[in-house]
Structures are given as structure tokens and as C-alpha cells.
Structure 1
């Protein structure tokens, strides 16, 4: 997007129409009607106030005291109505903006989490950066600025209609000159400043988001950076990103300077021209002095109403850049995520893994590829998890162990073959990196089924099973909220996530190096508890002793081949390799 054109309005309407024609359309339209009615009344009173300002000047000039006090009384009465009308207009406008933001944010969040779009966004080769900013900031800006510009446009139309009648009665040439003057100014401003300002504002939104994201990463990875003593490297990177923000703002300020010079000179004429036009009639005694004030007020209102594009051009270009960012994000979210491939040749896009609902977990003739189809990891794999037993997946780094889990979870579908699996409510995945949710200790234990009811005694029993017996007491109970990723060690986090298995007791469990930070004793106890609840599980790991807790071992190789091994034989081979000099 590099210019302010009709495409922007198409993108705007594509985002906006769902709210105004959706399930909350009557509430939205009702609020909008209320805002317009307030605006209509406010504009009418503005015409009356403008007229009475002129009458006040005329009364003073003619030394007509009764007329003066009569006008003051009317003026005060109008102001009594004017003030609450203006306040009510602004309240309804902001309330409608808030309602719209709530609805649109919920819609984006629903699409963001639907079909794991948030995951595909991070793993696909897309130019959509900083989705957090687009949901939090761009949605807010979209709703607020949309209403602002709409109501400014409505107010401008009402002002042109109301005050043009005033001007027409004073001087008809003023009306014709005004329309021509505003039209020329709008065309010149749009043609000269449109393209560069939209481009620079688009870049500014992106660079500000990148700078903020880099600061968030420091907070999230503070300990790792401290261990590496990476302060200098991180500081240089953040300073570099801020320098990009700084340089872009400098270019933006230069264009804004030129725009302000033009608009300031352009907007000076309306304050002088009305006096020049009506002066001869006043000097000839054909018109009251107050008509200068009335004509000037009406002329300024009509001029700035016709001149709305020039007056708000900088804000319009920023708004246009935000519309484009939000539109491309919405477009990505509304695509079927499961069928998306990235930079894949057309001949390969049809090769996808089929997932079939079943009461078991198995893969049949599975050939697994990376999402971009550039590399084949596993060829023609067929294996099934036996009910109540464990399958261990092992092999060298990069052979496709974790990728196999992604395919079973439905995160990857590039390749060929079939995956049979039950519904997601029957499988619990423990990823390699423990995930600590924002919430209470109870939420950590129940996740992802935080809605279920489990009494404290059962939770304490599970904590004892994973060797975290005093965890609730240490932090003040199960309703305590902490930044658990910060206050717990990696080993404690792994044991806590393992406790989720014991609380939820799923039919199937998939563990990706879920005990890599634990000692052998803790690891053995956890697997014993897992076997005791009868869960069928698949594990990925590197430690040979993991074979003791599984009934089968799937050994993957770098050459895409695989074989099923018996745990005892596999364990003996690994020990022999370790003992070799």
C-alpha cells in the first residue's frame, strides 16, 4: 500500500461491514442514529450561536441596549442546551467506538485461535508482523478513527448545508469561491503528499511494533541473556531498531513540515476574505457591522467542512496505513489454515497428510515433509500405539522426532499418508518447552481444562506424586497468581506440567522430551504414575533409560528410514555403545 486510493475504502468496508450488518447491527445502528441526532441538534444550535454573535456586534455598534440584552439572554439559553448536547454527542460517539472495538477484537481473537491460526502465522513465511499490535492497537485505532472520520464527514455535510444558506444570503460569490478553493486544495494535497505520507506511516507502525517487541523479548529472556552476558549484543540490536524508528520519524516530520506550511497558508485566506467581500456594503451603510462576524463564522465553518481532507490529511494517511495492516491480517486469519502451504510448487501443494477420526492413535504409510516441502524427514512410516502402553521415539537430532508429534497434533500436514487419532479432548500434549499459563496455581494444574472442578485434596495428592508437595504452601494456596515461568525452575515447571497428566488423566498423552530437565529418579517416578492411570502415551527423548518405561521403541534415522525395536534389546545396544572405548 503506497497511496490513498479507492482500494483503501474497499479494505475498510471489508473489515467494517460485518459489524454493521452482523448480530449487533441494531444496537450499533441505534447508537449511530443517536450520535447523528445529537450532531444535528448541535449543528443547528451552532448556526443560532453564529447569528447571535453577529447580532451582539451590531447591537454594540448601534448602541442598542435592549437588543443587546435580548441577544445575550438568547445566547445564554442556547449555551445551556449546547453544552450538554456536545457532551452527550461525544459520550455516545466514544461508547459506540468502544462497543465496536469489543466486537471487532473478539472477532479477531476468535479467528486468531481458530484452527491454530496463531501457530500457522508464526511458522509460515508471511509478511504479517506483530499480530499482538494489530489486535491491540490497530483495532482500537480502526474503530476510533473510523467513527471520528465518519462523524466529521456527517458534521461537514450538515455544516455546509446550514452555513451555506447563511453565506448565500450575505454574498453569493463567496459560496462559489469557497467551493472552488477547497476543491483545488484537496486535489493538490492528495496528489503531492498522499503516496509518501501513507508509505512512511505504514513503515512507522511496523518499526514501532518491532522496537516494542524487542523490549518484550528482553523481559521474557532476561535470565538467558544474563547467563550469556549478552547485554552488549541485545543493547546494540534494540538501539538499531530504535534508530530505524528515529530515522523514519525524521523523514515523516519533514513531509509533515511541508504539509503544514501549505495548509497553514491555505487556511489563512478564510479569515480575511469575508471581511474584504462585505466591507463595501458596510461602508455604504447597506449592511450591519455584525454581518462581518456572521459571514466570517459561516465562511470558516463551510470552508473547514469542505476542506476536511486537507485539514485531516496526516491523520488520514496514518489511518490508511492501519487499515492495510488490519486488512492483510484479517485476510490471513480467514483463510483455511490447514490447507496453507508456503512457497510450495503447484505440483506439491496437493500432497497432504490425511487425518482420520478414530478411537486409536496410529500412522499409516506416512511420509513426512517440512512445511515448505524442501525436505523429507520420514518415509512410509506405519506404527500404532497399543492401548495402555508406551511408544518411545528416538533418533539423532533433526531426524524428525518432534516433527512427527506436530503431524499427529495436526500442526503439520505436508506429506502423504494417514494419521488416525481421536478427538483433541482425549489427547494431552506436553511440548518440549513447558508452558506456564497466566493465572493461579490451580489453573496450572488443570490446564487446558481449567473449567473442571477438582478439590484441593486431589490437587495436593498430585503435587506429592510429582515431588512438589509443598508448592501450594510455598506460594500461599492454589488461588495464588504468579509469573510461574519466573518463580519456578525448569525442572519444577516440567514436573508441574506432568502433573496436568495426572489431574486430567487423558486417554492418550504425547510427551516431547517432557522430562529432559529432571534427574533419573524423578523421571522414573513420573512415568510410573503415568502408567498407573492407564494412559496410552508416546514419548520423544534422547536418554536410553527412557526405554525402560515403554513397551516399544521407534528408532528414526537421518536417511529417512525407521525401525521398531524392543526396549530391552535397544537398551542393551545403547549400553554397549556407551561402554566402547
Structure 2
């Protein structure tokens, strides 16, 4: 189970392991420069705040003494300070937000590079502890950068104000300084001990349940046609309601604990309204201190107490922040670390080669719980085709995953060329977000192919009107919805003929097409120099391959030559 972090050194280590990447990156000097500017502006704001507090006490004392000249002089100085302070305060907010968005951009690019690099996005799909990676990248990174800077500013502001106003309060009443320290420590201990560890866990669970609910709604949108055909609206509604019930129940638990916290926090805060007056009131009544000192001492007391009790005042946000750190930390570890291999198990050896061959390959599921095929050895001559057939669940597609490097649980060796020389055509083709031209050239991004050649290939796969139908090759549509599965499979073959890979792997790539259409596409594939491996059930597929690999349900296999 995933451990939910409390306020301890592990949490701080997780925070620093994520944060330091930006502050020591190639953008470190701009980041540090902006942070220094934020600190300078914050310190300037503290100075202004201290001066304004003194001026408020000054004109209250002037009113009490009925000194007109002193009153108007303090008022003019007060508003003059405000005029000077406003640009600094506004600039401080602007600079902090600029630093936050720069930090978020760098972290997003860094996480996306790791997530989409080395197929980490595929590997973590088998990790049950890493839920909703989309939320962790889009939302948790934003929260991390915003809240990190926010808490840094709060802490620095507390330190500046603590030093500034402690001297002021010490000059007014030393006992009041000792009292505020004791009161702050007591409040912090009670808050962290009673509420902190509970709220961290609840906030972590709330983030997870909110993400699950959103993902459930996304699945309905992405599979709208299938759900409509099945008439599955009632079940989908029940599923969505169940996911939202999880959100609702946990949120009720969250606000219940926040209520308990607010009761304590408000009681704790309201008591402080009268404490400075109770302690220094007798000295004012005796004439030892002016009436304005009450306001001055009250303001200083409140600011010092606020600085010393950050955990009390910010606990709900801190617990949410801790949950976000945990999610980013576990996500980062998952995409950066290689999968763990159980003791006594091994991985398949992949060897770079000009051809394609399997040598004593024994393939297991990624969790090593089941052996799919055992001790396969074969070689595919260049330009030939291998057909893999067998019962559902026997491991046909799993062999393709192993060749593609997606699965490596097992023993033996796979000899294959570089992955950029292999094109994979799945049963349900992947339709990218982009133009028709990008669909046809995917995954290549630097091919210089004329519109005429693209149109010729579309005619070869029996899609002659496709470009015209949508307004040209640069038209952008939701292709997975506007094209039927059969049309999508034709588009996939068009990719094959345009990108001209040396090797292609076809996993039920013509299942949505009729036999004549399948024959048209495979005959054109045979006319190329491409070496290909197909998985399928139709007997007609044997007409286009030279070898047949039959997989049985008991881990055995048989390799035959196909004669026509």
C-alpha cells in the first residue's frame, strides 16, 4: 500500500527531491534572480507594514491627546507611505506569479519528457499505485509550484515580521513577548498532534477520488458510441454515481475534521483579541503608556502570533500540499525507476540486429504470475511474412509486445532492429490529435512527402475521397469519431505505405475489413520489401505469409512453412 506522508523528514526529503531539479537546472539563474527579487519586495513590504503600524498608533495617540498638528502630520505621512508602498506590493504579486509559471513550465516539460520517454507511460499502466497520471502532470504540478512559493513567502514574511515586530513588542512589554511564544507553541503542538496526521490522509484520498470521478466521465466521452450501441447508459450512470459517492463521502469526512479544526482555531484566535489589553491595560490606565500603544501592541501581538503559528493557521492547506507532494514523489519515482524484477526471475535479452529472430524465448506476464509460451526459437527471413495464430489468450499479441520491447518478463533473447525501423499496426489504430496529414505520416514528423503522393496512397488503400471529404490534408477533426474502425485500419495501412518501414507488426490489423479489402492491402504489402509479422484468426491470412507459428493454450508452439 502507498504510505501517506505526515509532517516529517521524509516529506521534506520528497519535497526537496522534486523542487531542487528546477533550482539547479539550466534556468537556475533566472529562477534565483526572480526569487531574490521576491524576497527583496517582501522585505520592503514588511518595512512599510511596520511603519504604517507605528503611524496608526501615532494618529490615535494624537486624537487622544487632542493634538491637531500631530494628528494631521501623522495622517499625511500615513497616506504618503501608502502611495509609495502600493507599486511595491503590486510588483511583488506579479513577480511571484511569473516565477510560479516559469517553474511550472519547466517541471511540466521535465515530467512529460520522462513520462513519454523510454515508454514509461506504458510501464506505469501496470502499476496499480500510480492512478491518474494526467492529473498529476496537469494539476498536481501546478499546485506544487503555486503552493511551494506561497508557503515560502508566508514563511519569509513570518520571519521578517517576527523580527520587526518582536523588537516593537519587546519595547512595550517583555511579559507579553514571553506569553505569545508559549501560547504559539501550545497551539502548534495541539494542531499537529490532533488534526495534522488525520487531514493529510483525508486530503490524499480526496485528490485520488476526484481524479477517479473525472476519469470515469472521460471514459464515457471517449466510448460514447460503444455505450450507445450497448444501451449501457444505466450502468454507466450507476458507475458515475458510485464514483461521485466516493468523492461525496470523503469530502464530508474532510469538512467534518475541518469543522473541528476551525472550532479550535477560531477559539484560539478570538482569545488573542483581548490578551494584549489585559496585560498592558493597567499600565495605560495608570498613565504610564499612551492609549495608542494598545493598538500598537495589539497589532504587534497579532502579527507575531501569526508568524509563530503558521501550522495552526495553514494546516488545511499544508495537509493538501503534503498529499500533492506524495503524489508527485511516487509518480516521479515510478517514471524514473526501472520496474522491479522479483527475486529468482529474469528479463528477456534484447539484442540489436539487422534481422528479426527469437532464440529460446520463454515469455511471462509482466507480473511473472503466468507463463504464456515457452522456448520459442525462429528466424524471419528478410522480406518474408510470419503469421501467428492460436486461441484467444494463448499469448499471440504478447509475443508482439515482447518484440516491440513493451514486455520483457521471461528468458531467452530477441534479435531485432532498432524500434524506429518497426511500425506497429494494432487492431484499433491510434488516431492522433491533429490534421489528416499528421494522421497519415504518424509517427514520423520530418517526412517530406508531396500531396500528390499522399493522395496516390489513399487511393491504394481505397480511401480516394477522404481528403476531399474533410476539406484537404490539413483539416483537423476528431478522427477516432469521424472515421469508422474500418477506415481507421485503412489509414493505418496508408501510414505503412507512406513511411515505408523495414519491419511492420500487424495485430488483427484488418479485423474490421472484408476479405477482398484485406486481400487488396496484404497483396500491396507483399509487393514491398518490408518484413512483417501478423496476428489473426482468418484462414485467408495464410495466403500472404511464408511461415505459420501456432500457439496453444498449454505454453507449447509449432512452426510450419506455408505452402500455397
TM-score (structure 2 length as normaliser): 0.97
CA contact 1:2–1:196 (8 Å) conserved in 2:
no
Say which is worse superposed, 35-44 or 551-560, in terms of deviation.
551-560
**Corresponding residue number in structure 2 for 1:189:** 191
**Corresponding residue number in structure 1 for 2:267:** 265
Q: Distance in 1 between matches of 2:554 and 2:289?
A: 98
**Corresponding residue number in structure 1 for 2:459:** 464
| Aligned residue pair count | 561
CA contact 2:168–2:300 (8 Å) conserved in 1:
yes
**Corresponding residue number in structure 1 for 2:124:** 121
Cα deviations by residue, 1:410-465 (Å, 9 ceiling, x for unpaired) = 01111111111111111111122211011111110010012322221111111111
Cα deviations by residue, 1:531-556 (Å, 9 ceiling, x for unpaired) = 22321111111111111111222222
Is it true that 1:347 corresponds to 2:344 in the alignment?
yes
Query: Shift of residue 386 of structure 1?
Result: 1.4
CA contact 1:445–1:496 (8 Å) conserved in 2:
yes
Query: Shift of residue 328 of structure 1?
Result: 1.0
Is it true that 1:294 corresponds to 2:290 in the alignment?
no
Cα deviations by residue, 1:456-513 (Å, 9 ceiling, x for unpaired) = 1111111111111111111111111111001100000110111100110011111111
**Corresponding residue number in structure 2 for 1:327:** 329
Q: 1:86 aligns with which of 89, 93, 98?
A: 89
CA contact 1:463–1:499 (8 Å) conserved in 2:
yes
Please show how residues 302-317 of structure 1 align to structure 2 within 5 Å.
302-317=304-319
Query: Shift of residue 401 of structure 1?
Result: 0.9
**Corresponding residue number in structure 1 for 2:182:** 180
Query: Shift of residue 160 of structure 1?
Result: 0.4
Q: 2:71 aligns with which of 65, 68, 72?
A: 68
CA contact 1:430–1:497 (8 Å) conserved in 2:
yes
Query: Shift of residue 114 of structure 1?
Result: 1.9
**Corresponding residue number in structure 1 for 2:468:** 473
Is it true that 1:559 corresponds to 2:551 in the alignment?
no
| SS of 1:312 mapped into structure 2 | helix
Query: Shift of residue 4 of structure 1?
Result: 2.4
Q: Distance in 2 between matches of 1:300 and 1:313?
A: 18
**Corresponding residue number in structure 2 for 1:109:** 112
Query: Shift of residue 2 of structure 1?
Result: 5.5
**Corresponding residue number in structure 2 for 1:577:** none
Question: After TM superposition, where is structure 1 displaced by more than 4 Å over at least 4 residues in a row?
Answer: none
Q: Distance in 1 between matches of 2:299 and 2:61?
A: 15
Q: Distance in 1 between matches of 2:453 and 2:534?
A: 26
**Corresponding residue number in structure 2 for 1:367:** 362
Gaps of 5+ in 1: 570-581
Q: Distance in 2 between matches of 1:123 and 1:249?
A: 28
**Corresponding residue number in structure 2 for 1:575:** none
Please show how residues 137-536 of structure 1 align to structure 2 within 5 Å.
137-337=139-339, 340-341=340-341, 344=342, 346-348=343-345, 351-536=346-531
| SS of 1:368 mapped into structure 2 | strand
CA contact 2:362–2:376 (8 Å) conserved in 1:
yes
TM-score (structure 1 length as normaliser): 0.94
CA contact 2:5–2:11 (8 Å) conserved in 1:
no
CA contact 2:5–2:326 (8 Å) conserved in 1:
no
**Corresponding residue number in structure 1 for 2:8:** 5
Cα deviations by residue, 1:67-96 (Å, 9 ceiling, x for unpaired) = 222112211121112111111111111111
Cα deviations by residue, 1:218-242 (Å, 9 ceiling, x for unpaired) = 1111111111111111111111111
Q: Distance in 1 between matches of 2:374 and 2:185?
A: 68
Query: Shift of residue 246 of structure 1?
Result: 0.8
Query: Shift of residue 58 of structure 1?
Result: 1.3
Q: Distance in 2 between matches of 1:557 and 1:249?
A: 50
Cα deviations by residue, 1:116-162 (Å, 9 ceiling, x for unpaired) = 111111124x3111111111111111111111111100000000000
Q: Distance in 1 between matches of 2:256 and 2:47?
A: 40
Cα deviations by residue, 1:388-411 (Å, 9 ceiling, x for unpaired) = 121111122122110110010001
Gaps of 5+ in 2: none
Q: Distance in 1 between matches of 2:85 and 2:194?
A: 39
Say which is worse superposed, 259-268 or 390-399, in terms of deviation.
390-399
Query: Shift of residue 109 of structure 1?
Result: 1.1
Query: Shift of residue 529 of structure 1?
Result: 2.0
CA contact 2:41–2:88 (8 Å) conserved in 1:
yes
Cα deviations by residue, 1:314-337 (Å, 9 ceiling, x for unpaired) = 111111111111111111111124
**Corresponding residue number in structure 2 for 1:33:** 36
Q: Distance in 1 between matches of 2:229 and 2:202?
A: 39
Q: Distance in 2 between matches of 1:484 and 1:443?
A: 11
Say which is worse superposed, 90-99 or 34-43, in terms of deviation.
90-99
Q: Distance in 2 between matches of 1:452 and 1:280?
A: 86
Q: Distance in 2 between matches of 1:452 and 1:311?
A: 58
Q: Distance in 1 between matches of 2:13 and 2:363?
A: 41
Cα deviations by residue, 1:53-74 (Å, 9 ceiling, x for unpaired) = 1111112222222222211221
Q: Distance in 2 between matches of 1:336 and 1:414?
A: 13
